Structure 1
Amino acid sequence: MAYSQTESTNNEKDTVYTISQTDTIRGDQDAFDIVDGFRTIFPKRDTIGKPQRRSGIAYLPNINYNPSIGAQIGLKVVGGHVFGDRKNTTMSTFATALSYTTRGIIVGYFNHDIYTRENKWNLKGNIMLARMVGLDYGLGIGRPLANPTEDELLLNNPDRNRFTYNYNVYNFNERLYKKLFPGMFVGAGVFFELKRGISVNNDSGVSPNRTYSEWNGFDETQNNNNGIMLNVQYMTRDNPNNAYKGIYADVVLRANQTWMGSTKSAYQMVTDFRKYWNLSKDESNHVLAFWSLGSFKLGKEYLPYLDLPGTGKDAYARSGRGYTLGYFKGLSFYYSELEYRFPILSNRFLSGVVFANVQTANDQMGTNLFRYWQPAGGTGLRVLFNKTTRTNLCIDYAFGRFGQRGFFLGLNEAF
C-alpha cells in the first residue's frame, strides 16, 4: 500500500492525500519488512508461490526502553484499516497494549484514530489504566534563581535532584471532528484524568509536588483533571504512523470544569504542528520532518502538579528524546524538533534518522516562557516491521544537558 496525491472526487480544485496501490515513486509494497523475513524463513507450504494479501494488523511484543520507565515488556496490537474508498479516505489506526517495566510501572491502554468514509468524521481518543512510578526534577527549565526562598529552591531544583512518585492513573478522553472541507476539521471532546494514591519515595515526604500543592490549594495525594475540549484540525499528511509528506496541525482548548468533577476550573491551549518534506524523487522515505508542540496556560487558575505540561507529556510520550519524562515542566511549555530521515537499504528494511530538539518552560517563580532553552539531539535506526501500515521499530540514542542520555526504543516514528 502506497500513498499519492490525487484530486478530490467532490471538487476538482480540492486536493487531498489519499491511499493508492501505486505511487509516482517506488511504493511501500516493494519494501521488505520483518513479516517478509519471517515468511521467507518459515514459509507455509500451501501459500508458496501464491500472492498473499497483507494484514494491516500486527501482533508483537511490546518492547520499549527509555530512562524514565526502564525496560518494558508486554503484548501490543497495532493496526490500520481504510473505512471507505482508498482514493478519498485516510487510513484509520488503533493500538492496544498491556505492559510491565523494570521500574514497576503497569500500563494498559487502547488508542484509536478513526476516519469514516470520505473523511467526513474523525474520532480519536484513548482509555488508559496504569500503576505509575514517575520521576520528577522540579518546576521550570533548570535555571538557578537569584536569592530563592527555601520553597523556591526546592521547586526550582537547580541541582537536578530526582524525586520519585507512585500513583494510580485512570484516563479517558474522546474527540469527535467534522470535516468542513478536505483537510480541515472542527470538533469537541471530553477528558477525565484521575490520579490517586500519590506518594513520594523518601522518608521526609518533602517534594516539589507537596510545595506546589500547598501554594495552589491542591491535595498532594490525589486530583481530578476533567473537562471539555474544543478542537480545530488540519491534516494532509499521507500516513499517521510514518508520514512522507503533508501537514498535521491541531489546536485544542482544554477547559477543566469543576461541574465535571475537576479539582479546579482551569484553561490550557494546546497546539501541535507537524510538517513533512519529501527530499527525493526516487525514494519516498527520504524526509525532513518538523514538530512544534505547545501548551499554554490561560487564566489565573493552575493545573495540578503532575498534570503540568512538560518533557514527554505528549499523547504518546515521544517528545524530548534525550531527557527523562517530565524532566522539565512548567505552567506553560513549548517544544520543537527537526528530524532528518533517510533510507539505508534500497528495500527499505533499514533506514536511519538524525534529530535535534529544544524545549522551554516558565515557572511560578518569575521565569518567563521562551527566555531559556534546553537542547538535545541524537540519532537512530529504523527497522521496517509492517510495510502495510509503515510501522517501524525505532531505536534511538539521544543526549541532553545535566548528564541526561540514553537509548529510546519504541514502535512508529516519534512524530
Structure 2
Amino acid sequence: MARFRTYNGTNGLFCIYMTRCIRRLCLYSLLLPVFSTVIAQDSTRSQSKLVIFPAMTRSIETSWAFGGAASYTFRVSAKDTLSRTSSIQMGVLYSLRKQLVSSIRGTQYLRNENWIFNEQISFSSFPDKFWGMGKNTADNSVEDYSFKQMYIYLHLMKKIAPRLFAGLLYEYQRVWNISYKPGGLFDQQQVPGRQNYHVSGLGLSLTYDSRNHAFSPDKGFFAQTYFNHFSPLTGSQYPYTNLVVDIRKYVPAGKDAVFAAQAWLFGNIGKSVPLRSQAAFGGDNTMRGYYQGRFRDLQQFVIQGEYRRHIYKRFGIVAFAGMGNVAHEIGELNFSNLKYSFGGGMRYALNASEKLNLRIDYGIGKGNNSGFYFQLAEAF
C-alpha cells in the first residue's frame, strides 16, 4: 500500500491550504469557501486557524468528485518557535462513479521538531476495477468489483541527527462487503483478500529530508525507507512484510525552473498478501495515465522525472515522464514488458509563499491508457 490510502493509494484528495488560497481559487470558480474562522491570531502569524470549504477533484479512478473539507492549523506550544505549523485535516468526497471517500489526517511537530507525528484514519466505499494479477494483463480483461475499507495509519518519528529521523509506525486495515464476479478473475487466480479480512502491523522507518519546501521543493533531497510486519501477534489475518523505499531529488534547472526525480520501490514478502495491500500500478502520483491498479502484483518499481517551470505570475507548466513495472517476486522486477508514461500540465499557485499549487495534468501510458487529473499539490 502506498501512503495515504483512501483507495489503495491516493494523496491528492484532501490537500489543505490557507484561507487566502481558497479565496484566490474561488475567483476561478474552482472552490467556494463557505465558512472561515480564525480562532487566535497575533500580528506576526496565526496561532490557530479553522477553515471549512467545499472541494472538487478529478482522476481516472473517480472521474469528478465533490464534497467538503476542513483544516485546523495550530502550534502545539506557543513557546516553540522552531517547529513548523501543525495541522489536522478532514474531508469527505463523493464521485460521479458513486465512490465515497472520507478521511482525517494530520501532522504534528513537537518539541522544536525533535518529534513528528503523522496520522490518518479513512473510510472508503469504492466501486473499482480489476484486470487480474501480473505485468501482462490485457486492457479488455477488466472486471468490476466493489468494497468497503477502514484504514488507520500512525507514524511517530524522532530526530536522531540533523534532518534524519527514525520512526515507529502502525497500520490497520479492514476490508469488507467485497463484491465481485463469481468464477471471474478473482476466483480463477485465487486472489488473497477477495473475502472479508483485516490486517494489522508494526514497523520501523528511517527518513532523511533536506527539501526547502514541503509542497513543491526547488532544491534538496528526500529519502525514506520503512518496513511494516503484519503478523498474528499484532492481530493480522494475513502474515507478510511490506517494504518501501522512496528517494527524491530536486535540482534547479535555470531561472524559475526545477527538475524533480523520484525512484520508488514497493515490495512485499510473504506467500499470501491480500488484495488491498498489493502493489497497484498507476494513479495521480506515480505513472500518471494509468488507472491505479491497472497492473497489480506483490512488487513494483517506478522511476519518474518532471520538469517544472514558472511562466507568468502564478502560472507554470510541467512536462513529465516515467517508467516502471510490477512483478510477483523482487528478483523478477525487470524491464520485460516495461510500462511507460509521459505528459504535461499546468500549475496555478494557490499559495506562492508555501508553493502550494493547483495541478492540472494529462498523462499518456502504453496502449489505451491515458487520463486527466485535477488535483492539489505536486505528484512528488
For this structure pair, what is the TM-score category when the shorter chain's length is used for normalisation?
0.7 to 0.9
Q: Is 1:35 aligned with 2:35?
A: no
The one of 233, 250, 254 aligned to 1:259? 233
Provide the residue aligned with 1:188 in structure 2: 168
Q: TM-score, normalised by structure 1?
A: 0.75
Provide the residue aligned with 2:259 in structure 1: 288
Distance 1:59 1:356, change over 3 A: farther
Provide the residue aligned with 2:123 in structure 1: 129
Using the TM superposition, give the Cα deviation of residue 260 of structure 1 relative to its aligned residue in structure 2, in angstroms. 2.4
Separation of aligned partners in 2, 1:354 and 1:219: 38
Using the TM superposition, give the Cα deviation of residue 250 of structure 1 relative to its aligned residue in structure 2, in angstroms. 1.1
Provide the residue aligned with 1:385 in structure 2: 350
Q: Which of 1 and 2 has greater Rg?
A: 1
Using the TM superposition, give the Cα deviation of residue 270 of structure 1 relative to its aligned residue in structure 2, in angstroms. 0.8
Query: What is the root-mean-square deviation of aligned Cα atoms in Å?
Result: 2.8
Are the equivalent residues in 1 in contact too, given 2:122–2:152 (CA < 8 A)? yes
Per-residue CA deviation, residues 236-262 of structure 1 (Å, 9 max, x unaligned), is 112222222212211111101112221
Are the equivalent residues in 1 in contact too, given 2:317–2:346 (CA < 8 A)? yes
Q: Is 1:358 aligned with 2:358?
A: no
Separation of aligned partners in 2, 1:73 and 1:381: 21
Identical-pair percentage: 21
Q: Is 1:210 aligned with 2:187?
A: yes
Using the TM superposition, give the Cα deviation of residue 279 of structure 1 relative to its aligned residue in structure 2, in angstroms. 2.6
Provide the residue aligned with 1:77 in structure 2: 70
The one of 316, 341, 344 aligned to 2:311? 344
Are the equivalent residues in 2 in contact too, given 1:56–1:389 (CA < 8 A)? no
Using the TM superposition, give the Cα deviation of residue 391 of structure 1 relative to its aligned residue in structure 2, in angstroms. 2.1
Gaps of 5+ in 1: 1-31, 40-50, 143-156
Using the TM superposition, give the Cα deviation of residue 301 of structure 1 relative to its aligned residue in structure 2, in angstroms. 2.6
Q: Partner of 1:344: helix, strand, or coil?
A: strand
Q: Tell me which protein shows more strand as a share of its residues.
A: 2
Are the equivalent residues in 2 in contact too, given 1:213–1:219 (CA < 8 A)? no
Separation of aligned partners in 1, 2:45 and 2:167: 35
Provide the residue aligned with 1:322 in structure 2: 289
The one of 240, 249, 252 aligned to 2:223? 249
Separation of aligned partners in 1, 2:271 and 2:376: 37
Provide the residue aligned with 1:112 in structure 2: 106
Per-residue CA deviation, residues 197-236 of structure 1 (Å, 9 max, x unaligned), is 1111x4xx2333323436xxx4522121211111111111
Distance 1:287 1:210, change over 3 A: same
Greater alpha carbon shift after TM alignment, 259-268 vs 319-328: 259-268
Using the TM superposition, give the Cα deviation of residue 134 of structure 1 relative to its aligned residue in structure 2, in angstroms. 1.4
Q: Is 1:407 aligned with 2:372?
A: yes
Are the equivalent residues in 1 in contact too, given 2:282–2:289 (CA < 8 A)? no
Separation of aligned partners in 2, 1:160 and 1:404: 12
Per-residue CA deviation, residues 57-90 of structure 1 (Å, 9 max, x unaligned), is 6644321112211211111235666667898434
Are the equivalent residues in 2 in contact too, given 1:302–1:331 (CA < 8 A)? no
Q: TM-score, normalised by structure 2?
A: 0.82
Using the TM superposition, give the Cα deviation of residue 275 of structure 1 relative to its aligned residue in structure 2, in angstroms. 1.3
Q: Partner of 1:178: helix, strand, or coil?
A: strand
Greater alpha carbon shift after TM alignment, 384-393 vs 105-114: 384-393
Q: Partner of 2:190: helix, strand, or coil?
A: helix
Using the TM superposition, give the Cα deviation of residue 137 of structure 1 relative to its aligned residue in structure 2, in angstroms. 1.6
Separation of aligned partners in 2, 1:52 and 1:37: 24
Provide the residue aligned with 2:359 in structure 1: 394
Using the TM superposition, give the Cα deviation of residue 92 of structure 1 relative to its aligned residue in structure 2, in angstroms. 4.0
1:130-149 maps to which residues of 2 (within 5 A)? 130-142=124-136
Distance 1:33 1:111, change over 3 A: closer
Provide the residue aligned with 1:165 in structure 2: 145
Q: Which amino acid aligns with 1:252?
A: Y
Are the equivalent residues in 1 in contact too, given 2:361–2:374 (CA < 8 A)? yes
Distance 1:36 1:129, change over 3 A: closer
Deviating runs (4+, > 6 A) in structure 1? 51-57, 84-87
Are the equivalent residues in 2 in contact too, given 1:170–1:193 (CA < 8 A)? yes
How many equivalent residue pairs?
Answer: 343
Using the TM superposition, give the Cα deviation of residue 124 of structure 1 relative to its aligned residue in structure 2, in angstroms. 1.1
Q: Which amino acid aligns with 2:334?
A: F
Are the equivalent residues in 2 in contact too, given 1:110–1:126 (CA < 8 A)? yes
Q: Partner of 1:119: helix, strand, or coil?
A: coil
The one of 339, 344, 354 aligned to 1:374? 339
Provide the residue aligned with 1:8 in structure 2: none
Separation of aligned partners in 1, 2:51 and 2:357: 11
Gaps of 5+ in 2: 1-19, 28-42
